[in-house]
Structures are given as structure tokens and as C-alpha cells.
Structure 1
Amino acid sequence: MAVVPKVKLGSQGLVVSAQGLGCMGMSGSYGLPKPEPDMIKLIHHAIDSGVTFLDTSDVYGGNTNETLIGKALKESGVRDKVQIATKFGIRGVDGKTEACGDPAYVRSCCEGSLKRLGVDCIDLYYVHRIDTRVPIEVTMRELKKLVEEGKVRYIGLSEACASTIRRAHAVHPITAVQNEWSLWSRDLEDEIVPTCRELGIGIVPYSPIGRGFLAVGPSLVENLIEGDFRKKMPRFQNVNHNKTVFERVNEMATRKGCSAAQLALAWVHHQGTDVVPIPGTTKLENFNQNVGALSVKLTREEMTELESFASSEVVKGERHAVMHMTFINSETPPLSTWKAKL
């Protein structure tokens, strides 16, 4: 297995493994939760393999994913070797999902995550989705207090637009921005990536293998079980059109002697040393394959060829279900509007 190097994520001092592990699927979202002993074994294997950057959220599995990671860390006793990234900001209200950045909510979420994870400090704490009703400065001020109190080391944002990133960074340095980024999800490249690089912010791509589609193609969609939210995603409802993307990636992977998943993931790694993808999996063999992507080398010509397979003109369907579209690249109202309400 490839050696997983350590890299600096952002310019504030956080050091993580060059590839992380997305833990969401272990506790549901893509169907039923997986057996806890198997997932703890997988987390331990990841840490032993050098993948020490673990990504979770208080909303994954209804809090259970954080508890799972907490148990895994307690059993292995390797807290000092692991970088825990968790998130807050998505909650259910009256049967609907909404983003919340209210200061009191920020604090209560942090306290809950610390307890479930069984840690004294969260390494990287993300605003999971941007509350479009609360100025980002208000949310950031509370996060800054949590840093000053030693409960959070570094702050991140997820699915924020470029101007929100700038406004947040002006209150307290942002260490990382997490966004969907893969061969067929590239909307962040025009504004968000340049903004992050200008400000010295690391980039953490989630779903770098297209939520599994770039690994196995149409068969993935055919075998989705009830409860898997990918069923509702427009991109997965256009599988007969989008299968060509997988077929082309897979053909190139065969030529290079790697898997389609490794090729798609290697493309993300080649975006820069400030990019740390967090592919998720619930299977040891898939985890080992993902680590193998670190050894796949691509020329500029191969990168360009790959990009032509999944251009915006080729891929059909939005990357999120309609109900989540307001959660993408979101902006918040100006701080003056919040002051007027006080």
C-alpha cells in the first residue's frame, strides 16, 4: 500500500494526511447503517495505514457517526495521531431541513459534538451549510470564541460562496473550505478555488469519486437500496445519459493499469498540494484502492483528456437534489441587517 504523506491544510498550522476518510456512509445516508464493529475495524485500519484525517458531522446518522468515531478512538487510544473534522449547521425543523448559524446553536452543537466524540477539542470545525438568514460574521464570532476557549483548533466552511468565505475569513482565519469536487462536479473552480488560494485556505473535496458512480458506473444506481438519498439526485436519475462518462474513465483506467475509482481520485489529487480529498467508504478493499490512487501519476495531457470525458456539456443533471440546491455556494445577509434587528 502507498505511503500516505502528511501535508499542511491551509496556512494556519493544521497538518493532516494527504487523503482523508469520509465517514458519513458508515452511519446511513447511503442506506442502512453498517455494523459498528466492522466500521470501527475500518477506522482503525485507516489510521494504521496513515489516513488520520477523519471527517464526520453531527447530522450524520442523527449524531451516531460522531459517537462511532468516538468509540473507535477510545478503543485504539490514538487521539494524538488523528485529526478530527466535524460539522454543525444542518437541523430538522417541522419535518424540513434547514441551515442554522445562530450563536447559541453554534455553541450547543459544539458541546454536543465534543461529548459524542469523547474529546476536549475539535481539530477542524466546519459550518456545514450556510444559514442565509444570519450574517456569517455573527456565526464566526461565536466560533472564534470557541477557538479562544480551546474547544476548537481550526475553523472551516462548507458550500459557501466566495464572498461568504472572504467575510468569514476577515473575522477569524478559515483553515479549510469543503466542497463537492470531482471530474463531474467542478462548479467551485471559477471562484471558490481562486479565493481559497488567495487567502491561504485549504480545499477539502467531498465525493471525489462522484458518490461512487465514477467507480462502478450504472450498476451502482441499479443496486441502490431504499433510503439511499442518491436515488433522488438528478444526476443519478440520468444514468442512461451519464454512463458514457464512466465508460470513458474506465477505458482510460484500463490503459493505465488502475481502477476507474483510482483514476478519478488521482485527478482530484493532481489539482494541487493544497487539496485533500476525503473519499468515503464502508469496505476495506475500497479503502485500500483509494489509498492506491496516491500512486497514480497523470500528465497534463491525461488530465485534459479526463476532463473532456465529464465536461459540463456532457454531464446531465444537477449534483444535488432540488431540496438541497439552496445549500450550495450560499451567501448570507450583510451584518448591518442583523444589527438592525437587535
Structure 2
Amino acid sequence: MNVSIYLSNENLVVVSGKAEKNSIKIKTFFTVPLPHGTLINGIIIKDELIRSYLIKLRSKGILPRKNIRLVIDRSSVLTKFMTIPNMKNKYIYNLIKETFSGAAEARNELVYDYSVIETGKVKNVGNQILACGMEKSLVKDYINLFKSAGISLSSIDIALSSVLKLQNCYNEYKNRTFILSIVDGENVFALLFLNGKYSFSNRFRLISNRGTPESFVEYGSFLSSIVQFNKTQKNNREIESVLFCGLRKDEEGLCGELTVALNIKVEEFIGSSVIKPVKVLRSKERDIMKNLFAVANLIE
């Protein structure tokens, strides 16, 4: 069983469970509300507060002392899809470092990593990887924060990587063209999939208060820009639907309004053939689905 943590702009999320071939069995699920400004864009602002929450969760037996999988989301993380031949890890890391060399000049020291998205199934066709570069100081801050709470991390992943691993589990979405829009506080992260393959992602920050007519207009404008972008690519793939994660109760009318405005089916990503909570958690399925990053991070 794995334990995954995600520190969002609004909550500290802890999920435990086991990922199998095409399913994730959720055993436990906990959220701790975070005061506004505790984290900003993945940067820890109030470390003492988070530390106290981690210690409390550990003392209650919710968090073990080791083997914790952390997932973070930060807009400044460098990412790039690459197709590479089979080669040793050290050569892959050198290639990634060289790929990001231009962007790295404007940043502090970076650490590099990658995840395999798809292995080449045809001879002489390379493997597709998601390469990333992240500030070394950010990684150290997270490691030290958990260490000071008596907890050791086994891995740190980025949100995009975890979502792509989850997408590979869904047979019903493997041939669909759709947008997955994940809302975290005022931040919206949207991913475009063409015929089940990741194509593009974009972010924006809501200016208006959530649940207001003005915020609905902002959501619509953002999604419309992605729809228009897809049309300019002339890929003969029409967007079939938009799936939302993280909507609040005062946003229940959003999907209906956007369905009319965009002329595309817009719905919440609630029911899941892959994510399967134990019986005592089924009443929390909606909340579990809102925390997709933490759930997806259970996949190794």
C-alpha cells in the first residue's frame, strides 16, 4: 500500500491505497484545511503551520514515518515531452539537462528527472518520456519540512506526471478528445487530450470570487481559448467534452452554463471506473475525485 500527500492551495490531502493494473483502491482519505496563503504556487510560506499538521497526522497514525509519496504543482517547473531511444539513465539525464539548458540560465540550480509515458512498441521507435526540471531549493524545502516532522519522503512527483499515469488507466478515455480541467483554489490547470493522448496544457488564475457569474465567464473564456487553439492546429479532432475536478457547491450551475456557451458537453469528473474507495469512503467519493493529484500519485 502507498501513501500519497498533496499540499494544495486550500488543503493538505493524504490518501492511502493500492494501484493495480487498471484500478486504484482507496483505503483512507483525509484532508486538513489550510489557511489562505499557507502555500502560494507550490511555495511553502507557513512552514511551521504545515509542520504542526504533519506531526499531528503522524501522531494519530494517519501518516507513517517513511515511504511517503509527495506530489506538488508549480507553474515554474520545466516540462517537455521527448522521444528517446533505449539508453542508460546517466545519458537520459544529460540529454534532459542539455534540453533545458537555455531556460535553466534564468533560474536557480535545477534538479532533473523523468517519467516514462509510453514505451516503444515498434522496433526502432523510441520511448516517450516526460522530462522535468525543478528548482533544487524547492525540493530541499519539501524534504527538510517533512524531515523536521519526523517523516521521510520516498518520492516527489509533479502533478502533470501523476495525471498522465492516471489517464493511462482509463480505457474509456483512450480514444477520446477532451479537456480535463482541475481547479485548486483560484488556480485552474487544464489538459487537452487528443484521441486519448496528451497534447497541451495551460493554466490561469481566477480574478473573480468563485461561484460568482463573473467567475463563470472567466472559466468560459479560458476553455474557449483552448477550443480555439485546438481548431487552429487542424488536427481533425473536435473536442468532445470537458471534465471538471475540484468544483465547489456554489459552482453547481457552471457545467450547465458552459455546455450551452461552448456547445460542448461539460460535466464534473465524479464517477470513476478506476478509482475505487473502500465501502466506508464511498460517501466521500466526490471529495476524493476533487483531489485527483493525490489519488493519481498512488500509481508508481
Q: TM-score, normalised by structure 1?
A: 0.30
Higher strand fraction (1 or 2): 2
Q: TM-score, normalised by structure 2?
A: 0.33
Higher helix fraction (1 or 2): 1
